[in-house]
């Protein structure tokens, strides 16, 4: 792969530069453990430089007409499209996800770039009648300012694009801190944005650790909003810290997503959905299904069909044909999954399939794993594992199924398999989650619809759709009085806000 440089730099004020300290870190292919490149470990001084440059660029970028900004995003979308296959292959090398899923990840970035580009000709506000004559009332959208974007490893292009495209079209300037496990794809995205015409300073890239570079970004007073996707603990810390100087914070956090299988479900469809929902991306999706709540009447048949099918899943290097599951992202994630399998066994759950690291392969590979006889309150049914580990929970009827679905701290995605329309509507109305699928697995978000969770899955923020524009703009209300006299509210003169 001749286009992969071995040394990589920060991108500050339109230039590639070394970190102030000269410290670097290495990025590895999780399937082969081969090094991919050496990246700059940004210090707080580097983050400071990045914010300086974003603050300066804000003056002109925020005044650039939104349709002009949109043209740059259209070019970005086209360039991503032209390079889709190359980027997908690079992603499989860096992140491990199988090639078909990597293509989907790039496609989401393409779709989001086109979608946000179109917003450049909308960015709609409202008009409303006034209580008074000769007075006009409306809202306009204003950019927030410098925004800090912090992203996880599992969607190396899609999640950054979900944040960068709406932030840019809205007129904000950016300091972007990607996961240390996927800095290469972040760099490729920056290169494309620059080539497409994003001016110097408008987007800045700081690679490095969360505890130093990420934390410095969260603490910088000039950064007016933080958009974060990642784990619950990091999200809690960010919310507290950013709250100290009243930053806007958008959090997309973990999940413990249920699939309910009712006794009237199409079981073949449900087995297909559970396999893809639980084991796609080796379970490293925030929307991965990790609990299947199955009606006891169909549990034996469902269980045996599922295990039979899961035995046929092929684990290996995602660049190879016919592979279903790639590796986990790193050694600590592998150790975490191993720990949870042990916890499940200690809690008395029955290991039906898998449960071990695949030692014959060089990378961080783990077997597709299924537990049966799982109690809804066991730790493996309550805590996010973020690996290919699925818990089967037996239930009776829709009431109990919904209670169990809601019994976890998280509320991101959810699903029900049923042929009964009443059960489907009960799920829509009663599952406490940001997303509910009917007769489809917990994954498959489309970029033009809002995305986000309830409870510990976030702070109510919604990415994607037009709600993404809400996350990255301030609404200003304008009262335009052209009467040429002092007008007081006539409806109730006491109300003067
Ligand atoms: P993580 O929280 O470890 O890291 C995410 C990012 O935060 C990384 O860039 C990291 O360097 C940075 N970070 C870490 N500590 C920081 C700090 N103190 N200050 C600022 N930044 C800091 O998450 P991860 O392991 O990369 O990703 C997996 C997690 O992400 C899972 O919990 C998963 O559910 C969640 N996730 C959620 C969504 C969603 O949309 N809800 C999508 C994908 C992943």
- Whole-prediction pTM: 0.96
Cα 427 to ligand 1 centre (Å): 29
pLDDT in tens, 323-353: 999 999 999 999 999 999 999 999 999 999 9
Q: Is 137 annotated as catalytic?
A: no
Find out whether the beta carbon of 58 lies less than 6 Å from any atom of ligand 1.
no
What's the gap in Å between 235 CA and the centre of ligand 1?
A: 8
Residue 4 has pLDDT above 70, yes or no: no
CA-closest residue to ligand 1 atom 31: 231
The pick from 182, 234, 445 for probing ligand 1's pocket by mutation, whose C-beta has the most ligand atoms within 8 angstroms, reads 234
183 in contact with ligand 1, CB cutoff 6 A: no
Specify whether 252 is catalytic: yes
pLDDT above 70 covers a percentage of the chain that reads 97
Of 187, 188, 286, 471, the catalytic one is: 286
pLDDT digits (tens, 9 = 90+) for 21-41: 999 999 999 999 999 999 999
Flag whether pLDDT at 6 surpasses 70.
no
| Separation of CA 94 and ligand 1 centre (Å) | 17
218 CB under 6 A from ligand 1? yes
Instruction: Give pLDDT, residue 3.
Output: 41
Is the model's pLDDT at 495 over the cut of 80?
no
Nearest atom, ligand 1, residue 179 CA? 9
Catalytic residue among 212, 252, 384, 471: 252
CA atoms within 13 A on the CB side of 334: 18
Does the C-beta of 324 come closer than 6 Å to ligand 1?
Answer: no
CB 255 within 8 A of CB 286: yes
pLDDT at 1: 40
Chain position carrying tokens 């239930």: 395
What average pLDDT is seen over the chain?
96
Instruction: Using pLDDT thresholds of 50, 70 and 90, give the confidence band for residue 419.
Output: very high
State the average pLDDT over residues 417-431: 98
> Is residue 480 very low, low, confident or very high in pLDDT (cuts 50, 70, 90)?
very high
User: 253 CA distance to ligand 1 centroid (A)?
Assistant: 7
pLDDT of residue 7: 76
Give φ, ψ of 357 to 5 degrees: -70, 145
Q: Which ligand 1 atom sits closest to the C-alpha of 453?
A: 41
What confidence category does residue 494 fall into, taking pLDDT thresholds of 50, 70 and 90?
Answer: low
450 or 489: whose pLDDT is higher?
A: 450
Cβ–ligand 1 contact at 423 (below 6 Å) = no
């Amino acid at each position: 792969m001749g286009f992969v440089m071995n040394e990589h730099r920060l991108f500050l004020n339109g230039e590639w530069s070394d970190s102030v300290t000269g410290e670097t870190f290495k990025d590895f292919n999780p399937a082969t453990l081969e090094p991919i490149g050496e990246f700059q470990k940004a210090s707080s001084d580097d983050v400071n430089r990045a914010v300086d440059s974003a603050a300066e660029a804000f003056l002109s970028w925020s005044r650039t007409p939104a349709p002009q900004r949109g043209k740059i995003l259209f070019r970005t979308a086209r360039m991503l499209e032209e390079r889709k296959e190359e980027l997908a292959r690079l992603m499989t090398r860096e992140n491990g996800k199988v090639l078909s899923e990597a293509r989907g990840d790039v496609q989401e970035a393409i779709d989001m770039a086109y979608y946000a580009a179109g917003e450049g000709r909308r960015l709609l506000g409202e008009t409303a009648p006034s209580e008074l004559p000769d007075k006009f009332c409306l809202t306009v959208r204003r950019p927030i300012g410098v925004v800090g974007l912090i992203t996880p490893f599992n969607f190396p292009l899609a999640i950054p694009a979900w944040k960068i495209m709406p932030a840019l079209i809205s007129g904000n300037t950016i300091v972007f801190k990607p996961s240390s496990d996927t800095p290469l794809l972040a760099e490729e995205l920056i290169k494309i944005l620059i080539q497409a015409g994003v001016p110097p300073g408008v987007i800045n890239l700081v690679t490095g650790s969360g505890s130093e570079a990420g934390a410095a970004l969260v603490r910088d007073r000039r950064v007016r909003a933080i958009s974060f996707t990642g784990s619950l603990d990091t999200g809690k810390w960010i919310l507290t810290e950013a709250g100290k100087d009243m930053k806007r914070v958008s959090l997309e956090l973990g999940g413990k997503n249920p699939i309910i299988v009712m006794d009237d479900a199409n079981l073949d469809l449900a087995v297909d959905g559970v396999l893809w929902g639980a084991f796609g991306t080796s379970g490293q999706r925030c929307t991965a299904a990790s609990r299947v709540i199955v009606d006891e009447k169909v549990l034996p048949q469902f269980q045996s069909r599922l295990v039979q099918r899961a035995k046929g899943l092929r684990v290996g290097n995602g660049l190879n044909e016919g592979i279903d599951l790639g590796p986990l992202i790193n050694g600590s994630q592998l150790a975490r999954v191993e720990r949870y399998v042990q916890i499940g066994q200690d809690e008395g759950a029955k290991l039906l399939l898998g449960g071990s690291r695949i030692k014959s392969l060089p990378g961080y590979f783990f077997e597709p794993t299924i537990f049966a006889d799982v109690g809804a309150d066991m730790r493996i049914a309550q805590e996010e594992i973020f690996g290919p580990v699925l818990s089967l929970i037996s239930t009776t009827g829709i009431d109990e199924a919904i209670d169990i679905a809601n019994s976890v701290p998280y509320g991101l995605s959810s699903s029900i398999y049923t042929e009964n329309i009443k059960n489907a509507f009960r799920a829509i109305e009663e599952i406490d989650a940001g997303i509910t699928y009917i007769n489809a697995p917990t994954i498959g978000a489309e970029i033009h619809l809002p995305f986000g969770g309830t409870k510990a899955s976030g702070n109510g923020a919604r990415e994607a759709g037009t709600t993404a524009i809400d996350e990255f703009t301030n609404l200003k209300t304008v009262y335009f009085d052209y009467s040429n006299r002092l007008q007081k509210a006539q409806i109730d003169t006491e109300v003067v806000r």
